[in-house]
Amino acid sequence: MRGLVPLGTRPTGEATGLVVFDGDCAFCTRSVDWARRWIRPQVGFIPWQRADLGALGLTVEDCSAALQFVNSAGVVHAGGRAVCAMLEVGRVPWPLVGRLASLPGVRAVMDAVYRLVARHRHRLPGASAACALQA
């Protein structure tokens, strides 16, 4: 992914990854807006509906199922792990939160919470009918 540099070697303000989210889901879009404002991760954000999924190593099925984070090396993280990866490149204190959430026992909880939220996102504040996942 051109324009991205590995973590730890990036100049301030340069993107270290790309968050690929569901742009048709109001809850997802509001969550991204919240992350931009409060976490301020040094990543790009793009709705999967406008992304070149093949170039990112993603499929429609991947993106329909979960949030995706593609790091500067092209490694893809999905779901709860994508959230952790985004937190790790945010402003303080979010990198610590992301690292702690990535610990093995905590990661299992994070993944379960992610799946629960994703499954019920159409019922959460700010959601719309487009937020409902296809069964």
| 31-82: pLDDT as tens digits | 999 999 999 999 999 999 999 999 999 999 999 999 999 999 999 999 999 9
What DSSP string runs through the chain?
-TT---TTSPPTT---EEEEE-TT-HHHHHHHHHIIIII--SSEEEEGGGS-HHHHT--HHHHHHS-EEEETTS-EEETHHHHHHHHTTSSTTHHHHHHHHTSHHHHHHHHHHHHHHHHTGGGSTT--GGGSPP-
The one-letter amino acid at 77: H
Average pLDDT (74-100) is 96
In a domain, 102, yes or no: yes
**pLDDT-based confidence at residue 135 (cuts at 50, 70, 90):** very low
Q: What is the structure's pLDDT at 133?
A: 55
| 5-28: pLDDT as tens digits | 333 334 445 678 999 999 988 888
In a domain, 94, yes or no: yes
Domain range for 34 is 17-124
In a domain, 117, yes or no: yes
| CA atoms lying within 13 Å on the CB side of residue 32 | 23
Average pLDDT (91-103) is 96
Closest residue by Cα to residue 4 from 20, 18, 15: 15
In a domain, 74, yes or no: yes
- Rg for the chain, CA atoms, rounded: 14
How many domains does the chain contain in total? 1
In a domain, 21, yes or no: yes
In a domain, 3, yes or no: no
